Structures are given as C-alpha cells and as structure tokens.
C-alpha cells in the first residue's frame, strides 16, 4: 500500500489492516497548525481535520496527534480537507511533561528512529543538560545520538567531545559546525531513506542551521545568538517533517527553554550505568545512596571512583523522576475517583427514574 519512503512498515500495516472503515488511506502527519494537519500519503500532501468522533475519543483518553504519527484518513468527495478517522498505534515517541504544575505528558514527536540531541560547543555547553536530554531520549524508544554543534566557536573541541562521551556511555558523539559545513559526514549513516530522525535541543544551539544544510537550501530562518550568553531566539516556531535529498525524514522542533522529564528510574539508570552497576552491590535493595551503611555508591564516591558531579546529577534526576511518579499516581487516583463519582451519579439517576416510573 505504501512504500517505506515515509517510514511505513509491518508494524503500522498490521494495525491499519484491522480497521474496517471504508475508503480510508494511511498518511503521516508532517505538520500541525492549531486544529489542521498537513498529511503526506506518499503520493499527495493534503490538509486534514479530525472527525468529531476521533476528537472525542482522543479527549477521553488524554491523547493528542503529534508530528510523525500515522493516521487513517478519508478524502473529501469534492474540495476541502481530508478527515482523520483513526490514530494508529506508535512504535516510539519523544515526550516531556507539559510546563507548569499539571502532570500531563506532551508528545514532541512520534515514530522516530533516531534522536539527534543537539548541544552547542560555545558558551552554552552544558553536560548536565546533555544528561537530562539523554534520560528522556532513552524513554522514547529511539536511538540517541549526541551532536555537538558550533565546533567553529570552540577552542577545545576534543576536550568537550571526551567530556560529552564520558556522560553518555555507549552513545555516539559527533562534533560538527553547521555554519561551516564541517563534520557532517558523521551524521550521514543515520540519514538513510525511510529513517525518521528528530532534532532536539535547547534554543540557540543551531538546529535551524543544521536543517538548512541537510536540506541543501535556506529553508529555515536563522538568527545569530546573543554574544553575552550564547542564547538565541526561537527560529523554529512549529514542529515539521522535512524529506531530505537522500530520503530520510527529518523532524525539526522549536528549541526548548527547559525539558521537563517524563521518564522512569530505568531511563535514569541507562544515563548513569556506572551508578546502576555500583547500586547492585549496595547492602539494601532500596538504598537511596544518601546515608545508608554499606552503600557501594557512597563508598565509590568517597574513594574518588565515582565523580562528584555525576553523583549529584544522578541524585537530582532520581528525585525528579520519583516526584513525577508520585504525581502520576495521584493523578490516576483522582481520575479513578472522578470516574467512580460519575458512575455512581448515573446509577442514582437510573434508580430514581425507575422509582418515578413505578410510582405512576
């Protein structure tokens, strides 16, 4: 039905084949503008809106359609928007917690194969931020790759390469200069036809410049960063998928001022494997690595085997994830109570209705 040019494969095909809606076609979400979507179905690029039924279903489940999603849609009889009838299950998704106190996930991009975590090699270079993005990347189900951009603005590229590699064991790290077109060959073997790659990073790290050079054209507007703090303004204002000349699918996203985690303790362990390995030797299975006797992590910290900054960063993310999990549990309990109250009210109304009918 579809070639793999847009990332279509057996996973999506088996779910699409279960649908019984007539005249539907699979398509991928390439862009969203408020309540309208730009879809690509391998032959056409069309605009689309949700059906009322799907909109209500997504609202009930707390789900939204995101860039990279596969959907099933029907074409209009004459002119007008296509209608999205179904959202197909995802095989991966990069998510984060929405800003503020609300404990709700926000899907940044769906069905991605590789995540390019872009960081600047200028004055904004920050290992703790890399660890944070990496923790969320492990949660996504995609393969993380660290891209250190702005090598032309750094006097110690090799030193920062080694520093980034040290906080990302097992993850490939590449230094590039999008501005000068240097080092991009290290990214090329990820950009194969049909592969979906997401560019993620803070504002001002040069993602739009990377998009331009990978596309081979000045498609995205770029702005210089401020010299005093190496921060830039958002030059990408929406999420969008671009098809690269070699057939790879590139997801560009607005720069993030802050990445609020939506992760688990397992994701933190993948980011800090040396701490996870040490923890296996702690005396207590529920060791918090803060004051317990027989804590292998604290012993390694005292002996200088475990770096102080890695320990502190690990503890910070562990506390944040634990807080998130408590909030998620509280939210689940609240939602269940709300459903129970709604059901109880319906039962009372049915009983009252029967009594009223019986009294006639």
pLDDT per residue, tens digit, the chain (360 aa), is 565 689 999 999 999 999 988 889 999 999 988 789 999 987 889 999 999 999 999 998 888 899 999 999 999 887 889 999 999 999 998 887 655 556 567 788 999 999 999 999 987 788 999 998 898 888 888 999 999 999 998 999 999 999 999 999 999 999 999 988 889 998 989 999 999 999 888 878 888 889 889 988 665 444 444 444 444 444 445 778 999 999 999 998 775 555 666 667 888 998 999 999 999 999 999 999 999 999 999 999 999 999 999 999 999 999 888 887 777 655 444 444 555 455 555 656 666 666 666 655
Last residue of a domain, one of 54, 87, 120: 87
Q: Are residues 122 and 245 in the same domain?
A: yes
What is the per-residue pLDDT for 335?
A: 47
For position 205, which CATH number holds? 3.40.50.300
Domain presence at residue 97: no
Last residue of a domain, one of 56, 87, 118: 87
Q: Are residues 153 and 45 in the same domain?
A: no
Q: Are residues 79 and 191 in the same domain?
A: no
Q: Are residues 8 and 127 in the same domain?
A: no
What is the per-residue pLDDT for 106?
A: 79
Domain presence at residue 103: no
Q: Are residues 199 and 244 in the same domain?
A: yes
How far, rounded to the nearest angstrom, does the alpha carbon of residue 2 sit from its chain's CA centroid? 25
Q: Are residues 332 and 355 in the same domain?
A: yes
Q: Are residues 243 and 293 in the same domain?
A: no
Determine the Cα–Cα distance for residues 269 and 317; give it in Å rounded to an integer: 10
What is the per-residue pLDDT for 333?
A: 41
Q: Are residues 113 and 247 in the same domain?
A: yes
Domain presence at residue 98: no
CA distances from 34 to 49, 144, 203, 353 (A): 10, 29, 22, 43
Last residue of a domain, one of 87, 119, 146: 87
Domain presence at residue 275: yes
How far, rounded to the nearest angstrom, does the alpha carbon of residue 208 sit from its chain's CA centroid? 18
What is the per-residue pLDDT for 76?
A: 87
pTM above 0.95, yes or no: no
Into how many domains does the chain fold?
3
Backbone angles phi, psi at 9, to 5 degrees: -160, -175
Domain presence at residue 79: yes
Query: Sign of the C-alpha dihedral, residues 217, 219, 221, 222?
Result: negative
Domain presence at residue 69: yes
Determine the Cα–Cα distance for residues 181 and 116; give it in Å rounded to an integer: 17
What is the per-residue pLDDT for 91?
A: 93
Residues spanned by the domain of 297: 264-360
Q: Are residues 204 and 289 in the same domain?
A: no
Reading phi first (left if > 0) and then psi (alpha if -120 to 50, else beta), residue 100 is in left
Q: Are residues 81 and 144 in the same domain?
A: no
């Amino acid at each position: 039905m579809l070639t793999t040019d847009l990332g279509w494969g057996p996973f999506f095909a088996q779910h699409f084949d279960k649908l019984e809606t007539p005249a539907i076609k699979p398509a991928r979400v390439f862009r969203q503008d408020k309540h309208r979507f730009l879809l690509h179905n391998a032959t056409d690029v069309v605009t689309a809106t949700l059906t009322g039924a799907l909109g209500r279903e997504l609202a009930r489940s707390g789900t939204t359609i995101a860039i990279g999603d596969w959907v099933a849609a029907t074409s209009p009889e004459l002119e007008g928007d296509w209608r999205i009838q179904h959202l197909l299950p995802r095989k991966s998704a990069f998510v984060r917690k929405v800003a503020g106190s609300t404990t709700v996930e926000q899907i940044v991009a769906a069905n991605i194969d590789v995540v390019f975590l872009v960081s600047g090699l200028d004055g904004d270079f920050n290992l703790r931020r890399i660890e944070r993005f990496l923790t969320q990347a492990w949660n996504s189900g995609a393969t993380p790759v660290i891209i250190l951009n702005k090598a032309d603005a750094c006097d110690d590229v090799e030193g920062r390469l080694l520093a980034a590699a040290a906080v990302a064991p097992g993850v490939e790290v590449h230094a590039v200069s999008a501005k000068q077109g240097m080092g991009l060959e290290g990214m090329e073997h990820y950009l194969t036809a049909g592969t979906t790659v997401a560019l993620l990073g803070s504002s001002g790290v040069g993602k739009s410049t990377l998009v331009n050079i990978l596309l081979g054209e000045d498609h995205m507007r770029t702005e210089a960063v401020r010299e005093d703090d190496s921060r830039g303004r958002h030059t990408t204002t929406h999420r969008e998928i671009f098809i690269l000349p070699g057939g790879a699918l590139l997801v560009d996203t607005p720069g993030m001022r802050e990445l609020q985690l939506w992760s688990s303790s397992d994701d933190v362990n993948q980011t800090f494997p040396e701490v996870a390995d040490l923890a296996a030797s702690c005396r207590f299975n529920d060791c918090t690595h803060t004051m317990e006797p027989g804590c292998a992590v604290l012993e390694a910290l005292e002996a200088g085997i475990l770096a102080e900054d890695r320990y502190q960063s690990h503890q910070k993310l562990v506390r944040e994830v634990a807080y998130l999990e408590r909030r998620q549990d509280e939210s689940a309990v609240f939602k269940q109570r709300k459903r129970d109250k709604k059901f109880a009210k319906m039962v009372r109304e049915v009983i009252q209705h029967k009594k009223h009918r019986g009294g006639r």
